[in-house]
Structure 1
Amino acid sequence: MVRAVRGAIQVDADDHDSIVAGTTELVSAIMERNDLTTDDVISVLFTATPDLTAQFPALAARKLGFHEVPLICCTEIDVPGALPRVVRLMAHVETDRPRAEMQHVYLRGAVALRQDIAQ
Structure 2
Amino acid sequence: MSINLALETASAKPAGKRPYFLDREVERVLAITMATVQELAVARQRVDTLERLLEAKGVLTRDEIDAFRPDADQAAERGLWMQEYLARVLRIVQQEGEAIAADARGDVRSEDVAVEITAGA
Larger RCO: 1 or 2 (CA < 8 Å, sep 6+): 2
- Fold-level similarity (TM above 0.5): no
Give the TM-score of the pair, scaled to structure 2. Answer: 0.26
Structure with greater helix share of residues? 2
Larger Rg over CA atoms: 2
Give the TM-score of the pair, scaled to structure 1. Answer: 0.26
